[in-house]
A and B are shown apart, each in its own frame.
Chain A
Amino acid sequence: MSNIQSLSSEAQRQDYLDQLESEAIYIMREVAGQFERPALLFSGGKDSITLVRLAQKAFAPGRIPFPLVHIDTGHNFPEATQYRDWMANEVGAKLIVRQVEDTIKAKGLKEPTGKNASRNWLQTFTLLDTIEEFEFDACIGGARRDEEKARAKERIFSFRDEFGQWDPKRQRPELWNLFNGKISKGENVRCFPISNWTELDVWAYIEREKIPLPSIYFSHQREMILRDGNLLANADFIYKDDSDVIVTKTVRFRTVGDMTCTAAVESEASTIEQVVAEIKATRISERGETRIDDQQTEAAMEDRKKGGYF
Chain B
Amino acid sequence: MDILRFITAGSVDDGKSTLIGRLLYDTKSILADQLEAVEKASKTRGDGEIDLALLTDGLRSEREQGITIDVAYKYFQTPNRKFISIDAPGHIQYTRNMVTGASNADLAIILIDARQGVVEQTRRHSLIASMLGIPHIVVAVNKMDLVGYSEDTFLQIAQEYQKLADKLAIKDLKIIPVSALAGDNIVDKSEAMPWYTGETMLHFLENVDVQHDLNLNDARFSVQYVIRPQTEELHDYRGYAGRVQSGVFRKGDTITVFPSEQTSKIAKIEVYGQEAEEVSAPQSATILLETDVDISRGDLISGTGNSPVLSQDVEATICWMDDRKELKVGNKYTLQHGTTRVRCSVKGIEYRVDISNYDQLEDIESLKLNDVAKIVLRTAKPIAYDAYQTNRANGAAILIDETSNVTVGACMVEA
Contacts and interface: CB of A to CB of B under 8 A. Distances in A.
Interface residues of B, number: 80
Given A12-B214, A173-B321, A19 B410 contact: no
A94 interface: no
A23 B228 CA distance: 22
A293 interface: no
A180 to B, nearest CB: 5
Contacts of A85: none
Given A7-B248, A184-B405, A22 B284 contact: yes
A258 B89 CA distance: 37
Contacts of A30: 224, 339
B410 A29 contact: no
B164 to A, nearest CB: 25
Contacts of B2: 13-16, 19
Contact of A29 (B212, B284, B321, B337): B284
Contacts of B63: 298
A62 B273 CA distance: 9
A1 B70 CA distance: 43
B278 interface: yes
Interface stretch (A103-111, A113-121, A142-150): A142-150
Contacts of B228: 62
B127 interface: no
Nearest to A303: B60
Contact of B60 (A9, A29, A182, A299): A299
A91 interface: no
Contacts of B227: 59-62
Interface stretch (B29-37, B109-117, B118-126, B135-143): B29-37
Interface stretch (A131-139, A262-270, A284-292): A284-292
A29 B410 CA distance: 23
A58 B270 CA distance: 11
Given A25-B272, A25-B284, A175 B410 contact: yes
Given A57-B273, A152-B56, A173 B407 contact: yes
Contacts of A296: none
A20 B84 CA distance: 12
Given A26-B224, A196-B84, A298-B63, A178 B336 contact: yes
A176 B407 contact: no
A167 B227 CA distance: 35
Contacts of A200: 77
B117 to A, nearest CB: 31
Interface in B36-62: 37, 41, 55-61
Given A26-B224, A33-B225, A57-B273, A173 B410 contact: yes
Nearest to A20: B3
Contact of A150 (B56, B59, B73, B237): B59
Contacts of B281: 12
B103 interface: yes
B interface SS class: mixed
B88 to A, nearest CB: 11
Given A8-B280, A9-B216, A176 B31 contact: no
Interface in B179-232: 211-212, 214, 216-217, 224-225, 227-229
A289 B32 CA distance: 10
Contact of B405 (A173, A180, A298): A180
B237 to A, nearest CB: 7
Given A33-B339, A152-B74, A176-B393, A5 B216 contact: yes
A94 to B, nearest CB: 16
A71 interface: no
A58 B77 CA distance: 27
Interface in A41-89: 57-63
B255 interface: no
A289 B33 contact: yes
A26 B405 contact: no
A196 B73 contact: yes
A282 interface: yes
Nearest to A11: B280
A283 B284 contact: no
B241 A180 contact: no
Contacts, number: 197
A172 B58 contact: no
A282 B28 CA distance: 11
Interface in B93-109: 96-97, 99-100, 103-104
Contacts of B56: 149, 152
Contacts of B99: 173, 175
A307 interface: no
B241 A182 contact: no
A169 interface: yes
Given A19-B3, A176-B396, A169 B72 contact: no
A32 interface: yes
Contacts of A61: 227, 229, 234, 237, 239, 273
Contacts of B241: 29, 58-59
Contact of A153 (B70, B214, B242): B70
A149 B57 CA distance: 7
Contact of B32 (A7, A9, A16, A284): A284
Interface of A: 4-5, 7-9, 11-16, 18-23, 25-26, 29-30, 32-33, 57-63, 145-146, 149-153, 168-169, 171-178, 180, 182-184, 195-196, 198, 200-201, 282-285, 288-289, 298-299, 302
Interface of B: 1-3, 31-34, 37, 41, 55-61, 63, 69-75, 77, 81-82, 84, 96-97, 99-100, 103-104, 211-212, 214, 216-217, 224-225, 227-229, 234, 237, 239, 241-243, 247-248, 270, 272-273, 278-284, 286, 297, 304, 321, 334, 336-337, 339, 392-393, 396-398, 400, 405-407, 410
Given A146-B74, A174-B407, 8 more contacts: A11-B248, A16-B3, A29-B225, A153-B70, A169-B59, A178-B397, A180-B407, A200-B77
